Each structure stands twice: as C-alpha cells, then as structure tokens.
Structure 1
C-alpha cells in the first residue's frame, strides 16, 4: 500500500512540474522588455516594414495589426499570432517583423528576493504607414505620452 501511495504521489508531482513549464502568464511582477528599449523596438518595426502602399489602409485607426507572442524564460519569442488584423498582406508582414525581433529581457516574478523568469504573453501593435517619418512620429507619441 505504501508503494502504491508513493508511486501515485510521484506521478502527481511530476505532472505538476510538467504543467508548470507549459503555463503562460498574462501578468507578473516584472514585464518582458525589448533590450534596447521601446524607442528601438518601434524604430525596428518602422525600418523593417516592406509592404506596398496600396495594402495599407488610409484611415489612421485602421492601420494597426496586433500581434501576440510568448516571451520564453530565456527571452526567445514563440507562438506568434495575429490577434486583430487589417488584411492578409499587412497581417503577414506584421508576423514577419515580430519573428525578426531579437531576444527580449524575460518577465517574471520576485520570490524570496530572487527573480524567477516566467513564460509570458506579450501583445504589440504593428502600425503601418505610407512613409517612414509618419511611422516614427506615431510611435514617438506612444513613448512620450
């Protein structure tokens, strides 16, 4: 009977460990950050856009694609997904750009005065504009406000 109890306890604890590695958090003590800062992130997005002007909607509020991805414990990115898109061309370009991003600083929690990284969801807005200066100006407003 003791052996059966020990085996079932071992199976349960192993299941919890495996499940903990698959958890993806939506909030934590410390959020993931782009290593060079938000301005560098937005400059990267603007510089790497390669979409025809015809594919970009002319209305300002209709030119944003929201992309969600997971920032892993080591800062790598995975699971890119368009959460709200514009059209097939811009959606594909937003995914391409976010997949080019370098490793992030992982988010996590502080337990017992020690940082513990967590797998976390991040959602960013990829804005499309007809020229580079409008793109940078729009993102600059986000940073300063």
Structure 2
C-alpha cells in the first residue's frame, strides 16, 4: 500500500492488510456502528411499547372503576315473621291414689267418751301410714298403673341421686404406724411452736387429710384455722408423716379422710 493510499484508507483496512478479512473479525469491526444503532433502536422500541402498555392498562382500570356518585341498588324484601310452634300442653295425668290407714307415732290425749278406731295390723302392713283412712291401690301391687309423669320423675331422681352401694363386712379405720401414741410422739417431735404464742395460751388447729389405698398422705385441708403460722406449720408436719396403714372395707384397702386436731400450748416461763 502506497503512502497516497494510506492517507485515504480506513484504519481498519490498514490493520487487516495482508490478513484474512473473511474470517469474521474484520466484518464485526466494520459493521459495529450499524449493529449499535440497531440495538439502540430496538431497545427504545421495547421501552416505548412498555410505557404505552402501562398507560393503556391504567386508563382501562380507571374507566372500569365506579364513579363516586354511583351506588348499586339493593332491594330489601321483608319476609313475614314465622309463627313459633306452640308446644301442646301436656294432658294432666291422673294421680294414682294409694291406700292409706290412719296411724301416727305421736302421743295424743283423747277424751274417754271419744271413740277411737284402731286399724288392724294386716291393714297397716298393706297401706301407707297417714293421718286418715283413704282407699286406693296397695303399695307394691304389680297390677297398679304408674303415671308417665311419676315414672319420669322417679327415673330422673334416681339418675341425679344414685343409691349408695351396699357394703357388707367390717370397716377397718386407717391407723398411724405404732398407734395413737406413736402419732402423738411424732407430732410433738416435729411441730415447732410459733414465737407469737403467749405463755399458757392454747391454739387448736383441725386438719383433714386423705389417706390413700397405699397409705400415702394427700389433700391436706384446714377445717378449723388457728392462724396462718399455725396452719402452715401443721400442714408442713402432716406432709412429712410416713405412710399409714390404710383403711379397709371387706378386706380391700380403701381411701379415707382422717381428721386430726393439733393443739399448741405456750410454755410458761
């Protein structure tokens, strides 16, 4: 390349002189400006399209919004009040009248001229004891009819107040190991008399506690209080007691409550 050609030749041609311009590097550098302009135009186009899309969406949302003065009309329909179902009044049941014989355990003074009818023992055994003679069904008669109301009331009372279980056999009360003397000795050795007890003054605390089937002590409760300090001291010592010999019913251990009075006496100097 002559000096005159160098003055009118592009720098890129000078660099790639005697080199393979068809390889790709030459074409990339030669078309760089055109690709840059194309990329800028495409980027601006995408940006403008995005801006116009956002504006269109905002305008559509604003148009779909309800105007401030517009309100949806709701028509309220008042329904007629429902008539409450009135329960049928129960028919009065005829009360069953039992046979009653005049007899009383109260002592009364009667004039000699007044006639007194003494009922037969057979009639007394087959009737209810009362203050006058009334005819009716014999109590325990299998043919008598019990009104439904009386039967329901009886069943309800039996459910609310169940009959206590029938127990047979000797009941053995719980006992402190060694007997009552050992219990008194234990309390005397472990109880500490509070300082505010005056000489000669007596304070009695009545405590109740539960002796379980294994002889353990629980559920301590003050029945008669002698003061906060005295109650606290009694409960402290009761909880330290060893296991008792539990109470028994029909030869089986049972849980029983035990009430123990504890008396503090002030020592006279």
Report the TM-score, using the length of structure 2 for normalisation: 0.35
| Larger helix fraction of residues | 1
Q: Which residue of 2 aligns with 1:120?
A: 256
Q: Using the TM superposition, name which of 65-74 and 122-131 deviates more.
A: 122-131
Distance 1:44 1:129 in 2: 16
Shift, 1:49, TM fit: 1.4
Q: Stretches of 4+ moved more than 6 A in 1? A: none
Instruction: Report the number of matched residues.
Output: 99
Instruction: Flag the structure with more relative contact order, 1 or 2, with Cα contacts below 8 A and sequence separation at least 6.
Output: 1
Give the TM-score, by structure 1 length.
0.62
Aligned-residue CA RMSD (Å): 2.0
CA displacement at 1:31 relative to structure 2: 0.4
1:56–1:128: 8 Å Cα contact kept in structure 2?
Answer: no
Identify unmatched segments of 5+ residues in structure 2.
1-169
Does 2:190 align with 1:48?
yes
Q: Which runs of 5+ in 1 are unaligned?
A: 1-27, 135-145
**1:1-145 counterparts in 2 under 5 A?**
29-55=171-197, 58-60=200-202, 63-110=203-250, 115-131=251-267
Q: Is the 8 A contact 2:201 2:266 kept in 1?
A: no
Partners of 2:198 and 2:238 lie apart in 1 by 18
Bigger strand fraction: 1
User: What do residues 77-123 of structure 1 show as CA deviations (whole Å, max 9, x unaligned)?
Assistant: 1001111011100010010111111000000212xxxx111110001
Task: Report if aligned partners of 2:204, 2:261 keep a CA contact under 8 Å in 1.
Answer: yes
